[in-house]
């Protein structure tokens, strides 16, 4: 699945990119790479420098920090955007719980995509704000 049309088709199924026009998806597909991780494969390590942003197309990942499981994420979820916006160390480890297929955007491609696709930055900021709010809220018991 390395053709631009295949990447565009996969991207169109991701919630983050759902408001994109066909032209924007085409631009995004030029910047994106489709990658696969086997179950147990690590997408990113806590504490390491990060330069990649992943959107999960298929499969499930576990997110851990300090040895604690924070969450599990499935198709449509994304990880790695914080390190692209603030190039500090990764705040969590992300591991494939099942075989995972993901869209990969390196930092250079990520910023090119944000420049090319006008609504993308707003959707990313909204998603980050939601995550911050959920992290700051005590769990309901």
Give all domains of the chain, ordered by start, each with its CATH number: 4-131 (2.60.120.10)
pLDDT at 74: 94
Q: What is the pTM of this model?
A: 0.75
Between 33 and 3, the higher pLDDT residue: 33
pLDDT in tens, 50-70: 888 898 989 999 999 998 999
The 3-state DSSP class for residue 77 equals coil
The span from the CA of 71 to the CA of 82, in Å, is 16
Report the side by side order of strands in the sheet with 61-65.
Answer: 42-44, 93-96, 61-65, 68-73
pLDDT in tens, 63-105: 999 989 999 999 988 888 777 777 778 989 999 999 999 988 8
pLDDT in tens, 109-133: 778 777 877 777 777 777 777 777 7
The 3-state DSSP class for residue 110 equals helix
């Amino acid at each position: 699945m390395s053709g631009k049309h295949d990447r565009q088709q996969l991207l169109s199924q991701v919630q983050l990119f759902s408001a994109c026009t066909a032209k924007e998806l085409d631009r995004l597909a030029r910047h994106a790479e489709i990658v696969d991780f086997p179950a147990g494969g690590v997408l990113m390590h806590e504490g390491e420098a990060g330069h990649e942003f992943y959107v999960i197309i298929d499969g499930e990942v576990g997110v851990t920090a300090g040895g604690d499981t924070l969450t599990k994420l499935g198709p449509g979820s994304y990880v790695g955007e914080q390190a692209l916006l603030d190039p500090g160390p990764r705040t969590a480890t992300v591991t494939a719980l099942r075989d995972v297929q993901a869209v990969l955007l390196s930092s250079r491609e990520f910023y090119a995509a944000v420049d090319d696709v006008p609504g993308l930055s707003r959707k990313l900021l909204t998603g980050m704000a939601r995550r911050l709010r959920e992290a700051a809220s005590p769990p309901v018991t």
